[in-house]
Amino acid sequence: MISAILFTISHNLFFAVATAISSCLVVRAIYNLFYSPLSVIPGPWYAAVSDLWITYHVLRLEQCKTIQALFEQYGPVVRIGPNKVVFRDISTMRSVYSIHKFDKSGYYKSLLTNENDHAMTTLGHAEHSMRRKAYAPHYTPANLARFQTEMQEATLELVNTLEGIKGKSPLECLSTFRHFMVDLVVMNSYGYHLGALRRWATGAEDLLCNAISDFPKRGILRSAVSTWAWDMVCRIPNRRWRMMCNSDKIMAEFVSQRVYDMRAQVNSGRLAESERPPMLQRLLQHKYASTNQLMPDLDIISECMGHLIAGSDTTSTSLSYFFWEVSRRSDVMKRLRAEIDEVMQDAKVIPDISVLQSLPYLNAFIKEGLRLYGAAPSLLERVVPASTTKNGSVSEAFDLLGFALPAGTIVSTQAWSMHRDDSIFPSPDTFLPERWLESNTSPEELALMSQHMMPFGTGTRVCGGQNLAQIVMRMVVAAVVRNFDIVAPSETNERTMEMKDSFVIFPASMECKLAFIPRN
């Protein structure tokens, strides 16, 4: 009798709780659809109800294309979640990222390194500015020019590695260029010669390079699931899966050793002053303006990890797509090679940075490559602030193309769509370096196209290492085009090279195989 009563009570309680939860969800859905301040913004109704729809496309690695399709259907402002709005508009882009400098959204916390903040994951503008001052002087063009010899040597090592294979079999470019970039970034950041490319050429596995490749996938998964779910999936007994989950730890161990070694040299007085100190040395000597205290090792390790990730896999992916385009565009290859041959008569002497920067078609090629194949074309989320007026009252909502957005709304745009606006870039899906040449395009059109370009982000949070990336891209493209014919095998095609995105892009097949055949 008692058990029957308890069963009835528990059954009724469960039903009441379920009914209450269901009612709350229905009420919330009705509010989001009809009464929210964002309800007037166009977009699919199911996106307004829940974030599950956009999360589904994130997990399918197709967020960029999905957002682009929404712009084509609904116009330059679209609601993609109960509290998320995306836009494709140059004036709004300036307002959000450059003028008002909105803080980042919590999404970026999924990209923490060593469970600690670095410049990319620091949400507030003021805090980010403080961190950026530590490394910004290292990435100025004048300072990077001091490392030109090391960059040229690394690029020639890449050329020699490709020559050693002699085009006998296609190479997996994502891995090849990743190992090259890891060597170059480690040299530039720590003054340390890693030898990742050399080990790769012998067939040896490199845990650090694998971890760098895995980290963006780890971040997108962490951002899409709860903490307890993340802890559960990391217990799956599969070696490759565990390596992906532990990618942060693998990188932290490598970078920590570099930091501790250089810290010991600084403390012992064995590290002499240099006209071109590696970035790590600058960080070890940098003091936060707010405290006048040296950066703690934890912050230095996280910052260095962030630069290692941002500088390696992104550039290697873009380079892979650049050479895939060259392999199927003989007209582009012919014009690019003719220009490079004139300034690089010795195939093993890479021209000065200033010479490469003066080549019109090479620069047009790089710009067009970054327009279509910039490695990080995804949404850059920001949060509408709750600003106040002089008397302390809350100001009116942020005006986004005529729509009033309340404080707390997440707003964003993506390079993918800014770069594919057909009113700015005719035939936006076609690779056309010629569109960037002064002989083909008016100064006004060139200026407008440049304003819409954001392959490294935009505003005050633009990628700090973009100058290094562009220098390396010019060197590698020049050296490879000068020394090799590039051929794509049948297994590398439009289907396998279709772009997927998890904040950064990569081919659908997760590889890009090309043959580099030495020129006669």
pLDDT tops 70 at residue 17: no
User: Is 149 inside a domain boundary?
Assistant: yes
Distance separating alpha carbons of residues 338 and 481, to the nearest angstrom: 10
Same domain, 201 and 145: yes
Torsion of CA 217, 300, 316, 352, to 10 degrees: 170
* Residue 126 structure tokens: 């003021």
Q: Which residue has the higher pLDDT, 209 or 225?
A: 209
Q: End of a domain among 365, 394, 413? A: 413
Same domain, 105 and 170: no
Same domain, 139 and 74: no
Same domain, 133 and 216: yes
Same domain, 392 and 265: no
| Residue pLDDT, tens place only, 90-110 | 999 999 999 999 999 998 988
User: Is 305 inside a domain boundary?
Assistant: yes
Same domain, 366 and 227: yes
pLDDT tops 90 at residue 36: no
Q: Are 25 and 32 in contact (CB under 8 A)?
A: no
* Residue 73 structure tokens: 């259907």
Return the closest-CA partner of residue 46 out of 86, 79, 88.
79
Lowest mean pLDDT among 14-18, 139-143, 220-224, 367-371: 14-18
* Residue 58 structure tokens: 């994130």
CB atoms within 10 A of CB 111: 22
pLDDT tops 90 at residue 59: no
Same domain, 93 and 135: no
User: Is 238 inside a domain boundary?
Assistant: yes
Query: Residue 34: which pLDDT band, with cuts at 50, 70 and 90?
Result: confident
In percent, how much of the chain has pLDDT > 90? 70
Chain-wide mean pLDDT for the chain?
90
User: Is 66 inside a domain boundary?
Assistant: yes
User: Is 124 inside a domain boundary?
Assistant: yes
Number of domains into which the chain is organized: 2
Determine whether the annotation assigns residue 463 to a binding site. Answer: yes
Same domain, 479 and 342: yes
Same domain, 118 and 152: yes
User: Is 506 inside a domain boundary?
Assistant: no
Return the closest-CA partner of residue 42 out of 78, 92, 73.
78
pLDDT tops 90 at residue 431: yes
Distance separating alpha carbons of residues 83 and 47, to the nearest angstrom: 10
- Select, from the ranges 22-31, 173-182, 285-294, 380-389, the one with the highest average predicted confidence (pLDDT): 173-182
User: Is 99 inside a domain boundary?
Assistant: yes
User: Is 321 inside a domain boundary?
Assistant: yes
| Residue pLDDT, tens place only, 252-274 | 999 999 999 998 888 887 776 77
Return the closest-CA partner of residue 44 out of 67, 61, 60.
67
Same domain, 99 and 129: no
Q: What is the domain range of residue 388?
A: 41-112+380-413
Same domain, 267 and 294: yes
CATH number of the domain where residue 212 is located: 1.10.630.10
Same domain, 324 and 187: yes
Helix, strand or coil, per DSSP, at residue 263: helix
